[in-house]
């Protein structure tokens, strides 16, 4: 049986968005019927950005609850929090020696930060070695398949490289994982209609936010700029609202008809966005109420976290022992 593994970085107070859901969460939830899944909240990763300990704690529990509300089956899936598994960070230290500074400096997280801030003095080493921690997350569990959105593919590639370097040096110890990216949803666009939807860019639609926040984001979607009046003909390809409606499985016939009306200028952008708002709330209705219900039951959540940690530690400790033996540390 294949082992599937993926994680989410709880680096924002805003919670999970449409891009996270279609890019990674939905495929991950579906994988629960196909293999043995290991899903986790990558809270150690968030430390390179989130410095307030209360935020770290709250974001971790919030994202843990949200991912669960999307349909994690904690009986089948090993569901845990990264910081509860100390073998991961131990493994990271060992894996630091399988990758060069030059390779890490080509990683886009570091490069983007360098271009934006243009100051190497202000970039912490946690961000620089982020891909090594991610490799440790993966390799500690002998994972076969890693479902992620496109933005994480470079990280999974370098993880594969690190595992190969390790195995060349010490023998066949680490499993080389496969990247899994669902093409159609690899890069869900943000409400600016251009860049990838991202919590840090503010172009996201958060799934569990208050209705007024969701509405505000939907009403701010950038549409065809050439269309000034609702009666002007528009290009549906320049309006990401239609893409979202398609993702949310809006009736195909109605969508075709709406696009035709858009081309002719017989439907306004506000009307389309209002439809999206309703479709969005309906699509996520059960998950939103599941989160509300789970949030009221902190004891249950904490118990799940403890149980997940136990199951995950059993696996990761074994890998770490193998690795320590291979490199001469035990
Ligand atoms: P994170 O928390 O940024 O995102 C979680 C997942 O959501 C995907 N995603 C998207 N997919 C499509 N379109 C978008 N607009 C979009 N935005 C986000 C991401 O690709 C990701 O799959 N480093 C990882 C977390 C991590 C991890 C791991 C993942 C830590 N260790 C080990 C896999 C294996 C991250 O920051 O994802």
How far is residue 323 from each of residues 40, 246, 304, 313, measured CA to CA in Å? Answer: 22, 46, 28, 15
Q: What is the position in ligand 1's atom list of the atom closest to the CA of 150? A: 20
What structural domains and CATH numbers belong to the chain?
3-188+298-327 (3.40.50.620), 211-283 (1.10.240.10)
Distance in angstroms (rounded) separating the CA atoms of residues 316 and 259: 51
**Interval 72-91: pLDDT, tens:** 999 999 999 999 999 999 99
Torsion sign (Cα): 54, 68, 20, 222: negative
Does 159 contact ligand 1 (Cβ within 6 A)?
Answer: no
Q: What value does the mean pLDDT of the chain take?
A: 96
- Residue 87's SS3 state is helix
Whether the CB-CB separation of 206 and 217 falls below 8 Å is answered with: yes
| Residue whose pair of structure tokens reads 């971790």 in the numeric block | 60
Torsion sign (Cα): 218, 224, 225, 228: negative
The tokens of 262 are what? 């858009």
Q: Across 157-255, where does the E strand assignment appear?
A: 178-180
The tokens of 260 are what? 């035709």
Does 3 contact ligand 1 (Cβ within 6 A)?
Answer: no
Among 149, 203, 243, the mutation site with the greatest number of ligand 1 atoms within 8 A of its Cβ is 149
What separation in Å is there between the alpha carbon of 118 and the centre of ligand 1?
Answer: 25
The tokens of 292 are what? 């509300």
**Interval 264-285: pLDDT, tens:** 999 999 999 999 999 999 999 9
Does 9 contact ligand 1 (Cβ within 6 A)?
Answer: yes
The pTM assigned to this predicted structure is: 0.96
pLDDT at residue number 119: 82
């Amino acid at each position: 049986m294949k082992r599937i593994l993926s994680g989410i970085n709880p680096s924002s107070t805003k919670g999970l968005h449409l891009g996270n859901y279609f890019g990674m969460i939905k495929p991950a939830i579906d994988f629960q019927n196909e293999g043995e899944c290991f899903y986790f909240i990558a809270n150690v990763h968030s430390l390179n950005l989130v410095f307030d300990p209360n935020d770290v704690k709250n974001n971790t529990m919030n994202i843990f609850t949200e991912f669960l509300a999307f349909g994690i089956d904690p009986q089948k899936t090993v569901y845990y929090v990264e910081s509860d598994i100390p073998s991961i960070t131990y493994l990271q230290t060992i894996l630091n020696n399988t990758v060069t500074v030059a390779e890490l400096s080509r990683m886009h997280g570091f490069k983007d930060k360098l271009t934006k801030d243009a100051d190497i003095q202000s970039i912490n080493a946690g961000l620089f070695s982020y891909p090594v921690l991610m490799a440790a997350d993966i390799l500690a569990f002998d994972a076969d398949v890693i479902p992620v959105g496109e933005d994480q593919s470079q990280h999974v590639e370098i993880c594969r490289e690190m595992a190969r370097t390790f195995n060349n040096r010490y023998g066949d110890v680490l499993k080389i994982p496969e990247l899994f990216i669902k093409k159609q949803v690899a890069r869900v666009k943000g409400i600016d209609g251009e860049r990838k939807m991202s919590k840090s860019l503010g172009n996201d639609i958060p799934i569990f936010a208050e209705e007024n926040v969701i509405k505000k984001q939907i009403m701010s979607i950038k549409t065809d700029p050439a269309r000034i009046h609702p009666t002007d003909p528009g290009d549906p390809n320049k309006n990401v609202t239609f893409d979202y409606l398609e993702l949310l499985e809006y009736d195909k016939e109605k969508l075709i008809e709406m696009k035709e009306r858009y081309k002719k200028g017989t439907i306004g952008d506000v009307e389309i966005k209002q439809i999206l708002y309703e479709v969005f709330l309906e699509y996520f209705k059960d998950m939103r109420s599941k989160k509300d219900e789970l949030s009221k039951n902190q004891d249950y959540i904490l118990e799940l976290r403890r149980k997940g940690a136990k199951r995950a530690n059993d696996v990761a400790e074994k890998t770490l022992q193998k690795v320590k033996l291979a490199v001469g540390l035990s």
